[in-house]
Structure 1
Amino acid sequence: MSNQAIEKLSPFKNLTDEQAQLVDEVILFAKQHLTQDFPAVYTILGDAGTGKSIVLSHLFARLQQAARVQSDSPFYGTHNYFLVNHPEVLKVYKQIAGPIKTLLKKDYQRPTSFINQLDKNNATADIVVIDEAHLLLSKPDHYNNFYHENQLLEIIKRAKVVVLVFDQYQVLRMKSFWTLDRLKDLIAPYPHQSYQLKHQFRMTASDDLIAWFNQLTNGLIEPLPENACDHYDFRIFDDAEKMRQTIVKRNQEVGLSRILSTSGYPSTLDGGKHYICEGDFKMPWDQYNFTATPWAELPQTIDEVGSIYTCQGFDLNYAGIIIGPVISQKPGTNQLQVNLDRFTDTEAFKKRADLTDPDQIIHYEKRMILNALNVILKRGVKGTYLYAHDPLLRQTLFELGQALNA
């Protein structure tokens, strides 16, 4: 594994003053509630790239240091766990734990494994830290051996203190359906505190360009800010193959540069290759990654197209984004149109008993598709390239790019 993903989440990475203060605040919160008779919850909110995960990494390293070697600490002897429902991200945390004596690989688990293991041993946890809590299951999923109604609720029942990070704009599947209101309702019966991280750390892009991305993922196509390319390589292509060739060059120069796409192209988990074709461009979707190395860090994935499931939570140096057939431009407007009939991720929108209003379901499904675009738009640290399948959207975006460079 390359060091980039590990360095990003390493507990030895320097924190900003705000992040360090937040870790101290959560430590104090945990100390205050560790001896109470009922669970307490601390929520860290923030968009993609705002540093939520590095805060958790530092926090957990401090807790485990205290739990295992600091006999005068109130955390000494506590049983604490770090959960993440994303197999690629979990690989990175386990790699981090390897060389650090006070962090064990078994400290890091998938939520279902944690719940089932504690039940099997008739045990409870002291402090549970949850990364990417927006990926927690909020309905039963028998395929993944989860038979309860909500993973977060089950985790809270088995812990004294729960610390989680949450981003409502990274909710991508009905089985992990969350809104901020749903989260607030679930934790309302427990003592709780929250903090919002706002500063974008991942991308070297200007705040104005980040705001433009946010507007796009809210369905509005606005003129590009004049500083869109300041200290950031932002380009819009009308040829997907030329974009791929440029990404290959960036990958040769600095590494960790990949093509990513939204849904809308053939995609089935059947072990075979399914191709994205756009003019002269033809590449297969990402294959299932059986290795301990995250998808983007495997050299051969320069010849694959990444999905939200392989890139969520990870940094790339350069990201070439294909906005697929599932998103187009509404003719005669500056608005995006979500085409549910072109959505090809059949697993994402499984029905759930607590959502029955057809209009509400359609609203949430469209929001999740735009959330997926939001996730892949915020991967590129040094640069982002865009290409759209829809001819009208492709022309509109390309002309916006041309106007910027005029």
Structure 2
Amino acid sequence: MLVYNATKQQFIDDVRANIIADAIQNEVARKLNRNSPRNEVKSWECSLRFMMSALLDEGIPASAGVAIEYNIPLTNRRVDFILTGKNHQRDDVAVIVELKQWQFVEVTKKDAIVRTQLGGSVRETNHPSYQAWSYSALIADYNETVRSESIRLVPCAYLHNMKQADEINDPCYEPHTSLAPVFISPDALKLSEFLSKHIKYGDSNGIMYRIEHGVIKPSKNLADALASMMQGNAEFLMIDEQKLVYETAIDLAHRAGSENKKCLIVKGGPGTGKSVVAINLLVELTKREMMTQYVSRNSAPREVFKKKLTGTSKKTHIDNLFKGSGSYVNAKPDTFHVLIVDEAHRLNEKSGMYQNLGESQIKEVITASRLSIFFIDEAQRVTLKDVGTVEEIRRRAAECGADVQELELASQFRCNGSDGYLAWLDNALQIRTTTNIDLSDIDYEFQVFDDPSAMRRAIIEKNRKTNKARMVAGYCWPWASKKDKHAMDIVLPEHGFEAQWNLDDDGMLWAIAEDSVDQIGCIHTCQGLEFDYVGVIIGEDFVIRGGRVVTDAGKRAEQDRSVRGYKKMFKEQPENARVLADQIIKNTYRTLMTRGQKGCYVYATDLETREYFSAFVRSQEATEPLDVAEDTGTLDDLHLPIMTRDEVVPFERHVPVYDLSIAAGEFGEMQIANAEYWVELPDFMRVSPDLFVSRVVGESMNRRIPNGAWCLFRANPGGTRQGKVVVVQHRAIEDPDHGGSFTIKLYQSEKIEEYGELMNKRIVLKPQTNAFGYKDIVLEEELDDLKVIGEFLSVL
């Protein structure tokens, strides 16, 4: 996703006109569904003015491309600035510029780590050369178009407020500055020379558009890469906080001792790379001949890792690397150099089959090691016995005399790198209130099914190629097949659906077993693992009533260990029991619904719950053209309350449904206000007099808008249209889908200055499609006659 895309000349014009920050801020709000803090806006205003000065070099062509805030595929990382064009050999080139407002840095002994002023204090962070290089490497790694079309990526960094270069160019950082040179304030002319050296000719074939819409390679699976990693191969590129956590842990491991115990707490949500960093540390510290073990309470990831390593190492060696969290009850103090605890939120108070051994698993880990590392996400505590919290680790570390350091992982590699999906999910599950109230502009496949059999067929189809799609469910059905291999566990007779929980034969290896796609997994067999696609059955323990989530631990199967002890707790402390069980159930579905890297499919047994989730998404299938059903007064496939003009108070809760095919001439608020049919928007959408709903027919925008989708628009939008999807009308337009004089396309314009004002010189209306035969619509004459009817807001 791109926030801003223009030519060099247009970028310079926007900076000179003092509108660049506003343009970016508006697009961040529209595309990323968030407001920009004042300090972020100020950084754009400052840094982009410096970049404008660097681009004034006449050796850099005016038609070079400028892209700002490019989101790297499958992550939540954004590149500050990209300049595109062709080099002297006419190869396609994209120069990646990491912009920093730092005024100083301090050298550290950690690889690619510096200290500088961040967030009100001096902190450690990545060297900007490493950051720029790692971003370019990620783009090349994930974007097949960049590789197949030989688009050259050239990284660099620009610290425009820094006056002295000694520390930032310290010889210890040479391996990184040699890959991505760093420029400071006195180097402004050198930066211009660097840019003109790599960008000799303009961007004549949409380099950034091809990168943005390139073929994306799925992110790697940790279990599949494990054997290669154990042989010392760098399978995963660590960026930003991941690199900082890794280097900090290596440094602490060398400094920790019997009289100088260390404890590192690493917080991070689903897919932030906790397990990737943990395994990388296990490999590196073992290579450095430090006694190190990977520890987890849940046996599923351990067993999968061991299975993947079978045949590559001796069983005793593998078993010595991966241990359960109850293994240290009788361990002597400081037996290990390092113990790495993954999924630390799942730790129990005591160990043993009856959980009656020892004092505290957390304390036992800290006692048994010189350095203990806890990777934790408190929002993934899914049983009443989970005691792994940051506060509890701090308390136990203090008892053991261990110094505690805390870091946090934010770089997102699950759910297509979409923090937006995770924030929406938290909002939808009503775990916490977020600004992500819908799934618009979220590059993640989320579908709701009315039939579990249809969802199973979809998962089986996704599983055919890579064996990385599975179905899971809330533990609301007894495990009958544990005793009777022929019994069915999850039975939904109204849909003719029957399935078994994962069999004892596969056990914790269900997630990778060859023939297990027909079986249903639960939280105990999938937490800590990942798939490409996950299908989730939501049981009666989580339902929606009147728009609110209602949870009921009593609906869980008696065999479910996650709520064992709830009845006793409810008798003794009913309110506390309800709150804790509510948190456990919500956390369970949050964890299940974030196991898929590329998509999540959902079926809820409760109808109102299905309708709740369906309101956030639209059908993936193409729908028929606009058709009013005379007998019901509803509009086909528009699954929202529909009323006639006489039944509503306009724009209080309802907005008009408008047929764009009659949007001719004086299209305006009065015209849409007189529409015959009106739709009631969901509660989370704010109604205003400039909104209307219409159906989009055709494939020319199918990357954003599926054929036949009902969409929400804002009529007569003001401000800049650059980079927005808009409905426009012009006599020279003949839309390829319907032949009309209006069309829905991505709007781009080139401006020139005349008599002190910026005027449109050329307008390009771009399709965003996977289909063939669609071309840019280019307007160069009678531009004043172009009418922007509306701005696309979201698919309903």
Corresponding position of 2:274: 52
Match of 1:385, as an amino acid? Y
Q: RMSD in angstroms over aligned alpha carbons? A: 2.9
- The answer on 1:310 being equivalent to 2:525 is yes
Asked if 1:42 is matched to 2:257, the reply is no
Distance apart, 1:193 and its partner CA: 0.4
For each residue in 1:271-324, what CA deviation from the matched residue of structure 2 results, as whole angstroms up to 9, or x when unmatched? Answer: 344521233221111123557x83121122111111111111111111111111
Structure 2 unaligned residues grouped into runs of 5+: 1-219, 619-637, 639-704, 711-796
Report the equivalent of 1:239.
451
Question: Residues 5-404 of structure 1: matches in 2 within 5 Å?
Answer: 5-9=222-226, 11=229, 12-18=234-240, 19-34=242-257, 36-67=258-289, 78-94=290-306, 95-96=308-309, 99=312, 104-105=317-318, 106-116=320-330, 118=331, 124-143=335-354, 147-189=357-399, 190-204=402-416, 206-219=418-431, 223-228=437-442, 230=443, 232-267=444-479, 270-272=482-484, 273-278=487-492, 279-280=494-495, 281-290=497-506, 294-331=509-546, 334-344=547-557, 345-351=559-565, 357-402=573-618
User: Structure 1 residues 283, 205: CA separation in 2 closer, same or farther (over 3 Å shift)?
Assistant: farther
* Contact 1:266/1:274 (8 A) holds in 2: no
Q: Following TM superposition, by how much is the alpha carbon of 1:90 offset from its aligned partner in structure 2, in angstroms?
A: 0.9
Structure 1, unaligned runs of 5 or more: 68-77
Which digits, 9 at most, give the CA deviation of each residue in 1:335-367, with x for residues without a partner?
211012212254222349999643222211110
Whole-Å separation in 1 of the counterparts to 2:280 and 2:381: 25
1:123–1:45 Cα change, 3 Å: closer
The runs of 4+ residues in structure 1 deviating greater than 4 Å are 219-223, 352-356
Q: Which amino acid aligns with 1:185?
A: R
Could you tell me whether the CA contact under 8 Å between 1:275 and 1:282 is conserved in 2? yes
TM-score (norm 2): 0.45
Can you list the C-alpha shifts for 1:13-71, whole angstroms capped at 9, x where unaligned? 1222322332111111222222x41532101110111100111111121111111xxxx
Aligned partners of 1:358, 1:30: CA distance in 2, in Å? 45
**Residues 337-346 or 3-12, more deviating:** 3-12
Amino acid at match of 1:391: L
Query: Once the two structures are aligned, what percentage of the paired residues are identical?
Result: 23
The letter for the 2-side match of 1:87 is S
Task: Give the 3-state SS of the residue equivalent to 2:540 in structure 1.
Answer: coil
* Counterpart amino acid of residue 81 in structure 1: Q
1:378, CA displacement in angstroms?
0.6
Q: 8 Å contact 1:98–1:104 — kept in the other structure? A: no
- Richer in helix (by share): 1
- Equivalents in 2 of 1:262, 1:152: separation in Å? 28
Partners of 1:369 and 1:177 in 2: how far apart?
A: 16
Alpha-carbon distance in structure 1 between the residues aligned to 2:549 and 2:283 = 43
Q: Which SS does the other structure have where 2:235 is aligned?
A: coil
Report the residue type matching 2:427 in the other structure. Q
Cα distance in 1 between the residues matched to 2:523 and 2:256: 36
By relative contact order (CA 8 Å, sep 6+), the higher-ranking structure is 1
Q: Provide the residue aligned with 2:4 in structure 1.
A: none
SS of the counterpart of 1:104? helix
How far off is 1:383 after superposition? 1.3
Aligned CA distance change for structure 1 residues 401 and 87 (closer, same or farther; 3 Å): same
The alignment's TM-score, normalised by the length of structure 1, stands at 0.85
Distance 1:129 1:269, change over 3 A: farther
**Cα distance in 2, alignment partners of residues 196 and 175 from structure 1:** 24
**Bigger radius of gyration, 1 or 2?**
2
Q: Residues 217 and 180 from structure 1, CA distance in 2 versus in 1: closer, same or farther, beyond 3 angstroms?
A: farther
